Amino acid sequence: MDSDDLLDLPAYADEYWAILDLIDAAEKVAICGHTSPDGDALGSTLGLGLALRGRFPSKDITFLIADDAPAPRIYRFLAGADELVPAARYTADPDLFIAVDCPVLDRLADGEAVVRRADKVVCFDHHPAREEFADVVVRRPDAAAASVLIAEFLSFVNISIDAAVASSLLCGIVTDTGRFQYQNADPESFCVASMLVAAGADPARIALEVYQSQRLEYLKLESVVMSRIRLVADGRVAYSYARAVDLAEYGVSHDECDGLVDIVRSVMGVEVCLFLKELDNGKVRGNLRAKGALDVSGIAAAFNGGGHAAAAGFTYEGTIEDTLRAALPMLIELVDSVRDVEELACAPNEA
Ligand SMILES: [Mn+2]
């Protein structure tokens, strides 16, 4: 055993103890992830929530969902998903609000009002943030998922991780790493995943529910998005889109479209890609992805969005065409800014 094993203190050890104290002192606890929740937002909410209920059975611990909408169908198999309460319908003033997987207040949607009524606020997150809104913050942009941080916290303060907690957290890691295929799939994510599987998480069930249970209507929409993929900048930039009428025609809901950007990303030779989805309110949601070491978070930030180097997003007011006119030149400039492609492909990842 080398000294690293002996000194295995997480970077946020002080914060973890402070958070445990806040939980100890609280009677009413509300936990909430970001709006339009993905597998990590829900997995870290439910994983943390179920673990805290196990340890503190007499506390009033509520699992919130930021929007006044049900959780996406593919995540409803997670234990506790049927107990998610839309934040707009939560009327209590919690002693403690725990935000997970969310870097800014307004991404908490209806949860923002609950934060303002809370006595204390804690944040576990892995997105870069411009400013903090919580009293105690665990923010590690190098962590693959917020679920990694929740697993680390629970282990460090000795709160037990049962099979249901482990499956929720593993769902967060599997989805945020794109099934361990993105640049953020680092040794820590595999190590924590291994620990969670040992604790009873069921990776086959997660894969079945999240990736092998698409509705045929969705797959037909996917084929339309695929047929529209266009390449620019010598094939280094790809984009495609889905219009509101496409979603209506195929009967696909917005929350089912999260995987469509990966279809665009999968084209050989593409370094950065953009998938646009027309919303019903005259706005367009843009999803950006990068392969290799290019950083698309700056482009998202230029449109007041956010995210990571390899995966980021933004909302634009206008049509699909307006958004393409605004965003494509930035994507082309980004790939053109890198002359030595070979060197880039070998650079250490920065996700
Ligand atoms: Mn996340």
Could you give the 3-state DSSP secondary structure of residue 39? helix
Of 96, 130, 90, 134, nearest in space to 111 by CA: 90
Please tell me the predicted confidence (pLDDT) of residue 137: 98
Q: What is the pLDDT of residue 343?
A: 54
pTM (2 decimals)? 0.87
Amino acid 196 reads L
Surrounding residues of ion ligand 1, Cβ less than 5 A? 40, 101, 145-146, 176
Where are the domains positioned within the chain? Answer: 3-211, 216-346
Q: How far is the CA of 306 from the centre of ligand 1 (A)?
A: 12
Cα of 3 vs centre of ligand 1, distance in Å, is 31
What 3-state class would DSSP assign to 288? strand
Q: Does residue 47 contact residue 195 with C-beta atoms inside 8 Å?
A: no
Enter the CATH code of domain 3-211: 3.90.1640.10
- In whole angstroms, what is the distance from residue 219 CA to residue 216 CA? 5
| pLDDT of 293 | 87
According to the CATH classification, is domain 216-346 in 3.10.310.30? yes
Per-run averaged pLDDT (10 residues), the chain, 351 residues: 56 97 98 96 98 98 96 96 98 98 96 98 94 97 97 97 98 96 94 98 98 95 98 97 96 90 96 96 95 93 92 95 98 86 50 38
25 CA distance to ligand 1 middle (Å): 28
Based on its alpha-carbon atoms, the radius of gyration of the chain, rounded to whole angstroms, reads 20
Q: How far is the CA of 146 from the centre of ligand 1 (A)?
A: 5
pLDDT, residue 259, reads: 87
Question: 22: closest CA among 128, 110, 119?
Answer: 119
Q: How close is the Cα of 170 to the center of ligand 1, in Å?
A: 12
pLDDT given for residue 57 in this prediction = 98
SS3 state of residue 235: coil
Distance 119 CA to ligand 1 centre (A): 25
Predicted local distance difference test score (pLDDT) of residue 114? 98
Contacts (Cβ under 8 Å, ≥6 apart) of 60? 27, 28, 29, 92
Report the pLDDT value the prediction gives residue 3, as an integer from 0 to 100: 42
How confident is the model at residue 6, as a pLDDT? 45
Judge if 3-211 and 216-346 fold alike in CATH terms: no
**For residue 213, what are the contacts with CB-CB under 8 A and spacing of at least 6?**
74
Q: What is the pLDDT of residue 7?
A: 52
User: Other CB atoms closer than 10 Å to residue 321's CB: what's the count?
Assistant: 11
> How many Cα atoms sit within 13 Å of 319 on the Cβ side?
4
8 A C-beta contact, residue 101 and residue 28: no
Q: Measured in angstroms, how far is the CA atom of residue 335 from the centroid of ligand 1?
A: 25
Q: In the structure encoding, which two tokens stand for residue 205, read together? A: 């069930």
In this prediction, residue 339 carries a pLDDT of 59
